[in-house]
Amino acid sequence: MTQFLQQMINGLSIGSVYALMAVGYSLVYSIMNFSNFAHGGVIMLGAYFGFYFLAVFKWPFAFAFFGAALGSTVLAVLLERVAYKPLRMRNAPFLYFIISAMGASILIENFVIATIGPTFKTYPQVLSREPFQIAALFIGRLDTMIFITSAVCLALLVYFIDFTKVGKAIRATAFNARVSALMGINTDMIIILVFAVGGFLAGVAGVLFGMKYTVYPQIGAVTIKSFIAAVFGGLGSLPGAVIGSVILGLLETLISGYFSSQFRDLISFSLLIIILVLRPIGLMGKPSEEKA
Amino acid sequence: MFKRPKRCVVTLLCLVLCLTLGISAALAAEQAKTVKLGWIGSLTGDQAVWGQCELNTVKMLAEELNDAGGLLGAKIEVIGYDTRGDAMEAVNCVRRLTGQDKVVCIIGPNASGQAIPISSILEEMKVPDIATVATNPKVTVVDGKTKPFNFRVCFIDPYQGAVAAGFAFDVLGLRKAAVLYDVADDYSQGLTEFFVKTFTEKGGTVVAKEAFKFGDTDFRPQLSKIKAANPDLIFMPYFFKEVALSSNQARELGIKCTLMGGDGWPSEVLIEMAKEAIEGSYVVNHLDFDDPDVMDFKARYIKKYNRQVELNGFLAHDAFLMFVDAVKRANSFDPVAIKNALETTNVKGITGTIRIDKDTHNPEGKEAAIIKIVDGNYIFQQKYAP
Amino acid sequence: MDWFYVKGILILSGINLMAVLGLSLLTGFTGLFSFGHAGFMAIGAYAAAFIGVNLGLPLIVSLLAGGLVAGIISLFIGRLTLKLKGDYFCIATLGFGEAIRLVLDNVQVFGGARGWPGIPIRIDLWNVVLINLAGIAFMISLVNSRHGRNMIAIREEELAAKTIGIDTFKYKMISLFTSAVYAGIAGGLVGYYTGFLQPKMFGMTKSTELTIIVIFGGIGSVSGSVLGALLLTALPELLRAFALWRLVAYGVAVIFIMISRPEGLMGGKEITFKGILRAIGFGHKHSKAREV
């Protein structure tokens, strides 16, 4: 029983990291209908920003944290301007966006390897590694912080999208970009805004990831799991992305804990595919035809 | 109807290639009396940490040698190509090194997965290769046949696994071991296989054998399971990034037993990140870090590159030593003569005495150094052979 | 310029081309995006090597058998996932590719993650070229047939294709099957060229590389794929002088071609005999390069 509860805690904490990353995919997807594979690269750079602000420039933690988030916000917008806007202007199909995104992610990863170097970097210890102990259960301080930060960020995001005027414009654009433009919404600004929000969350995710694990150029590869979670939850749906992430985290943990860690991904992928076959639009997806 | 455009494209491509390569070849031809030494490995991609250190080492040693008057009156020029960890690219690199650059010998690559597929090219072009950390036995011997042009400077997986198991059982007196390993990594699987084999043969029990997949950063599900099995020791045969993460997580989960690892561990970064977690752990290593020769090399490297030396640097150092020694004894830069000389290598390197066995092309009788981590330092314990 | 080295690049281009041709049918002509083609290559590679080594069959038979095994497995995948929306199919193939690798990592008969050395080397430039010519010829006749046109219809507008009576599911299956067979043959070539197989060789990077080549060459163009495979296999070799910056340059090149020429190199056009004649000044003024 203790082991089961401990595994549930492990799963939740893995899932909350996936969730922060998955939301970025879903946000961009809801507006632009393509999976932004360069998102992992932005998260990685966010983690490096945080590391430099904290360990090299010795900023206080809160400053470093926001600095990193702002840095990756700028980067995400820049990425959109350089790699996607020219494609948007030509109404290119989503395939081209994906390839452009892949090119960008190769570029970002290897740029970091070539400049900063391939060795991983360690964040200075901000929180004690000593876990909380409740009976025989161990809960990491960082895990708790990540869980809370994720929850706060996601709640703010939901508030922003659902209850503000700008959020309404974003939802309108997601629903039908052309009509929204006719209604006087500046869709170009909306897209910048969406990338900015996605980039901000990527920065938060990057710093948290770096604090919890470490910083290295291949962080982007981890985000493939969060992408899977986003699709599973229903691409374009924010609550879907969160729920999908938590489910994937729990699923992985329980499979390694109770079946076979050797075949973990095989079993979890098969389960996901089975669920998708039964419910083809993802858990919370909108049943609409592809726009691209 | 498609033959023609294809041929046309091929010619065009060849032209472009010719131009680029012709220029570089012309530049290279200017310097008289230089001999080319090749290196291949990962400069980009997942394994770039190790590859970059190897190339830096080889370049530094060649420079030092050239400043001291060169080798047999010739200057050594190092040509290093990136494989980004890909087997097919490794094959291309070797084709280029042997066919175009006409190197006399190749050092690297830093993984068995690249060292095995290049052997047919080496045999075709008759150029020897000294692998740095390719620890799979099949790099030099496949189905009982020795590959004539493949050599290595490191010890092999069965040996390292057996050393770890033997030391844990006989010297530390531990009886219940758990293994956590990277299922997608050849090195990790190799070590695991031979650790488990030796440990159970000696009478110990492996109470848990859990896997993760390269790229994972969270090992708590597996560690929680290992914790429930209550082992005396966890064997962690993988590289230091994952070691740092998994050892920290193990301690967070309240696992208190001894940790043990192989030659993927030693690194300053590991201490930096997991100092408390790995305190008191044991590492099977190639060398004693406090050896004066090792300290000297380390100091030179840090002075030149302002970076820490990774383990591969030491092995690349010895591979270079093997090459220089072979050239001197062969008294020639003929690749086949170098290959013949390599077969009778007996030279003292910083990772121990390297005596190449003619039948296996492996360094035989190289003793492993057991290292304990005490107060954040790698402290040499003893030499150990199973 | 050394022929031995060029030959190596050409053989590698040929191997890539085989896989790219198949993927071109799936992505370029049918509009389905796959992230798991390296998985089909892996199946083909291991099957072809197993058949050739253990049963002693000749090269061409073992290659075809390898391709067929990959094709049959693709039918199972397709049956489950081709009814899903594009992105879900994409995830399914991604999961499948990773799963195949995981299985091979664990199967000790084939050496597991440690690989399978000692496969006889049977590939030289001439047989790669012959196999490729056969592959190209078959692909051209397929895309120019009624079946090929049906697939293009699906890519352009699936709903409309369905309305005029095209069995979209069936054609998607045929497309997936054919592309898996091509990938399987390409995998077989890998094994017989390097004499060594390791699951690591067929990772996500390989799949993305193939997709990049298809889009780079121009979707819906066989000659584009040929050109793309040759150029993009040679490109990293040409960039050797950049050393650490090699993949950065590669990433830049990919983004650049996407934003400056998003229709790819050939942009849906084909190089034809007539087109060449026209280009060098012969032939009729009005004859236009055939568009697909």
Phi, psi of B37 (to 5 degrees): -115, 130
How close are the terminal C-alpha atoms of chain C, in Å? 38
Taking the CA atoms of C59, C5, B10 and C243 in sequence, report the sign of the dihedral they define: positive
Number of H helices, E strands in chain B: 13, 16
Contact between C190 and C238 (Cβ < 8 Å): no
Query: CA C136, CA C148: separation in Å to the nearest integer?
Result: 14
The predicted model gives B178-190 an average pLDDT of 93
Residue A109 maps to a domain: yes
- Please state whether beta strands B282-285 and B368-374 pair in parallel, antiparallel, or not at all (unpaired): antiparallel
Q: Report the pLDDT value the prediction gives residue B46, as an integer from 0 to 100.
A: 78
Same domain, B268 and B300: no
The predicted model gives C237-243 an average pLDDT of 82
pLDDT tens for residues B151-160? 999 988 899 9
Residue A5 maps to a domain: no
- Helical pair C3-23 and B3-29, crossing angle rounded to 10 deg: 140
AA identity, residue A237: S
Query: CA B90, CA B80: separation in Å to the nearest integer?
Result: 11
Residues 6+ apart with CB under 8 A from A78: none
H/E segment holding residue C103: helix C86-106
Residue A33 maps to a domain: yes
The count of domains in chain B is 2
Residue B3 maps to a domain: no
Does B231 sit behind a cis peptide bond, omega within 30 degrees of 0 on the bond before it?
A: no
When CB atoms are compared, the residue of A113, A129, A222 closest to B48 is A113
Q: Report the pLDDT value the prediction gives residue A292, as an integer from 0 to 100.
A: 33
Q: Mean pLDDT for chain B?
A: 88
C114 and B189: CB-CB below 8 Å? yes
Q: Report the pLDDT value the prediction gives residue B357, as an integer from 0 to 100.
A: 92
Q: Report the pLDDT value the prediction gives residue C282, as an integer from 0 to 100.
A: 61
The count of domains in chain A is 1
Query: CA C82, CA C89: separation in Å to the nearest integer?
Result: 6
In this predicted structure, the answer to whether residue C290 has a pLDDT above a threshold of 50 is no
Tokens of B135: 């620890």
Partner C contacted by A99 (CB < 8 A): yes
In this predicted structure, the answer to whether residue C284 has a pLDDT above a threshold of 70 is no
Residue C152 maps to a domain: yes
- Mean pLDDT is lowest, of B66-75, C12-21, C238-247, for C238-247
Q: Report the pLDDT value the prediction gives residue C193, as an integer from 0 to 100.
A: 94
Q: Report the pLDDT value the prediction gives residue B3, as an integer from 0 to 100.
A: 43
Show residues of chain B in contact with C12, CB under 8 Å.
88, 91-92
Q: Report the pLDDT value the prediction gives residue C1, as an integer from 0 to 100.
A: 65
pLDDT tens for residues A188-208? 999 999 999 999 999 999 999
Number of H helices, E strands in chain A: 12, 2
Q: Report the pLDDT value the prediction gives residue C287, as an integer from 0 to 100.
A: 42
Residue A244 maps to a domain: no
Same domain, B274 and B322: no
H/E segment holding residue C184: helix C168-194
Same domain, B118 and B172: no
Q: What percent of chain C has pLDDT over 70?
A: 95
The predicted model gives B322-342 an average pLDDT of 95
Contact between C132 and C186 (Cβ < 8 Å): no
The predicted model gives B71-91 an average pLDDT of 91
Total residue length of chain B: 386
User: How many other C-beta atoms can be found within 10 angstroms of the C-beta atom of residue C260?
Assistant: 8
Residues 6+ apart with CB under 8 A from C281: none
Please compute, for residue B189, the number of CA atoms within 13 A of its CA located in the half-sphere on the CB side. 25
The count of domains in chain C is 1
Show residues of chain C in contact with B100, CB under 8 Å.
1-2, 4-5
H/E segment holding residue A195: helix A187-212
pLDDT tens for residues B251-276? 988 899 999 999 889 888 888 888 88
Partner C contacted by A246 (CB < 8 A): no
Torsion of CA B186, B323, B299, B382, to 10 degrees: 60
Please state, in angstroms and as integers, the Cα–Cα distance from residue B192 to each residue in B198, B208, B372, C191, following that order. Answer: 10, 12, 20, 26
Q: Report the pLDDT value the prediction gives residue B30, as an integer from 0 to 100.
A: 46
Interface probe with A: pick from C77, C89, C206, C248, most Cβ of A within 10 Å:
C248
Measured at the alpha carbon of residue A26, what is the angle toward residues A290 and A191, in degrees to the nearest 5?
Answer: 85
| Secondary-structure percent of chain C, ordered helix, strand, coil, rounded to 5 | 75, 0, 20
Contact between C213 and C229 (Cβ < 8 Å): yes
Q: Report the pLDDT value the prediction gives residue A135, as an integer from 0 to 100.
A: 77
AA identity, residue C116: W
When CB atoms are compared, the residue of A119, A129, A138 closest to B248 is A129
Q: Report the pLDDT value the prediction gives residue A291, as an integer from 0 to 100.
A: 38
- Helical pair C204-217 and C222-238, crossing angle rounded to 10 deg: 120
Q: What percent of chain A has pLDDT over 70?
A: 98
Same domain, B146 and B166: no
Q: Domain of A215? A: 14-123+130-223
Same domain, B165 and B151: no
When CB atoms are compared, the residue of B9, B91, B213 closest to C227 is B9
Residue C213 maps to a domain: no
Please state, in angstroms and as integers, the Cα–Cα distance from residue B28 to each residue in A146, B81, B334, C127, C237, following that order. Answer: 55, 16, 19, 35, 18
Q: Using DSSP, state whether B237 is helix, strand or coil.
A: coil
Please state, in angstroms and as integers, the Cα–Cα distance from residue A90 to each residue in A103, B208, B320, C218, following that order. Answer: 19, 57, 55, 16
AA identity, residue A89: M
Contact between A101 and A83 (Cβ < 8 Å): yes
Give the distance from residue C22's alpha carbon to the nearest chain A alpha carbon, in angstroms.
17
Reported as a pLDDT band with limits 50, 70 and 90, residue B143 is confident
- Mean pLDDT is lowest, of C20-29, C179-188, C236-245, for C236-245
C182: nearest Cα among C31, C24, C35: C24
A214 and B273: CB-CB below 8 Å? yes
How close are the terminal C-alpha atoms of chain B, in Å? 66
Please compute, for residue C121, the number of CA atoms within 13 A of its CA located in the half-sphere on the CB side. 16
Q: Report the pLDDT value the prediction gives residue A176, as an integer from 0 to 100.
A: 85
Q: Report the pLDDT value the prediction gives residue C44, as an integer from 0 to 100.
A: 97
Q: Report the pLDDT value the prediction gives residue B334, as an integer from 0 to 100.
A: 94
pLDDT tens for residues C145-163? 999 999 989 888 888 998 9
Q: Report the pLDDT value the prediction gives residue B2, as an integer from 0 to 100.
A: 42
Residue B361 maps to a domain: no
Tokens of C6: 């060029």
Measured at the alpha carbon of residue B277, what is the angle toward residues B271 and B278, in degrees to the nearest 5?
Answer: 60
Q: Report the pLDDT value the prediction gives residue A137, as an integer from 0 to 100.
A: 83
Please state, in angstroms and as integers, the Cα–Cα distance from residue C187 to each residue in A14, B282, C66, C180, following that order. Answer: 35, 42, 8, 10
Q: Report the pLDDT value the prediction gives residue C216, as an integer from 0 to 100.
A: 83
Number of H helices, E strands in chain C: 12, 2
Q: Report the pLDDT value the prediction gives residue B35, as an integer from 0 to 100.
A: 94
Phi, psi of C186 (to 5 degrees): -60, -40
Q: Domain of C156? A: 3-202
Reported ipTM: 0.86
Query: CA B331, CA A119: separation in Å to the nearest integer?
Result: 40
Q: Residue B130 maps to which CATH number?
A: 3.40.50.2300
Chain pair A-C, CB pairs under 8 angstroms = 129
Partner B contacted by A113 (CB < 8 A): yes
- Please state whether beta strands B368-374 and B105-107 pair in parallel, antiparallel, or not at all (unpaired): unpaired
Residue that is written with structure tokens 């090792």 in the block: B294
- Convert chain C into a string of H (helix), E (strand) and C (coil): CCHHHHHHHHHHHHHHHHHHHHHHHHHHHCCCCCCCHHHHHHHHHHHHHHHHHHHCCCHHHHHHHHHHHHHHHHHHHHHHHCCCCHHHHHHHHHHHHHHHHHHHHHCHHHCHHHCEECCCCCCCHHHHHHHHHHHHHHHHHHHCCHHHHHHHHHHHCHHHHHHCCCCHHHHHHHHHHHHHHHHHHHHHHHHHHHCEECHHHHCHHHHHHHHHHHHHHCCCCHHHHHHHHHHHHHHHHHHHHHHHHHHHHHHHHHHHHHHHCCCCCCCCECCCHHHHHHHCCCCCCCCCCCEC
Query: CA B309, CA B301: separation in Å to the nearest integer?
Result: 7
Residue B237 maps to a domain: yes
Q: Report the pLDDT value the prediction gives residue B1, as an integer from 0 to 100.
A: 37
Distance from the Cα of residue B32 to its chain's centroid? 33
Under DSSP, the state recorded for C57 is: -
Distance from the Cα of residue B15 to its chain's centroid? 37
C88: nearest Cα among A230, A250, A292: A230
pLDDT tens for residues B188-231? 999 999 999 999 999 999 999 999 988 888 999 999 999 999 99
Same domain, B261 and B377: yes
Residue A74 maps to a domain: yes
DSSP B13-30: HHHHHHHHHHHHHHHHHT
Q: Report the pLDDT value the prediction gives residue B47, as an integer from 0 to 100.
A: 83
- Higher per-residue confidence, C154 vs B2: C154
Residue A49 maps to a domain: yes
Output the pTM of the full model: 0.88
Same domain, B266 and B193: yes
Give the distance from residue A243's alpha carbon to the nearest chain B alpha carbon, in angstroms.
19
Query: CA B40, CA C240: separation in Å to the nearest integer?
Result: 12
Partner B contacted by C117 (CB < 8 A): yes
Low-confidence ranges of chain A (pLDDT < 70): 286-292
Partner C contacted by A277 (CB < 8 A): yes
Residue that is written with structure tokens 């954040």 in the block: B376
Q: Domain of B43? A: 33-155+293-355
Contact between B285 and B264 (Cβ < 8 Å): no
List the beta bridge partners of residue B38. B79, B106
Reported as a pLDDT band with limits 50, 70 and 90, residue C130 is very high
pLDDT tens for residues C264-281? 777 777 877 777 777 766
Show residues of chain B in contact with C247, CB under 8 Å.
44-45, 84
C98 and A114: CB-CB below 8 Å? no
Measured at the alpha carbon of residue B88, what is the angle toward residues C53 and B131, in degrees to the nearest 5?
Answer: 90
Show residues of chain C in contact with B43, CB under 8 Å.
243-244, 246
Under DSSP, the state recorded for B309 is: P
Reported as a pLDDT band with limits 50, 70 and 90, residue B32 is low
Enumerate neighbours of C (3 or more CB pairs within 8 A): A, B
Same domain, B258 and B378: yes
Q: Report the pLDDT value the prediction gives residue C75, as an integer from 0 to 100.
A: 94
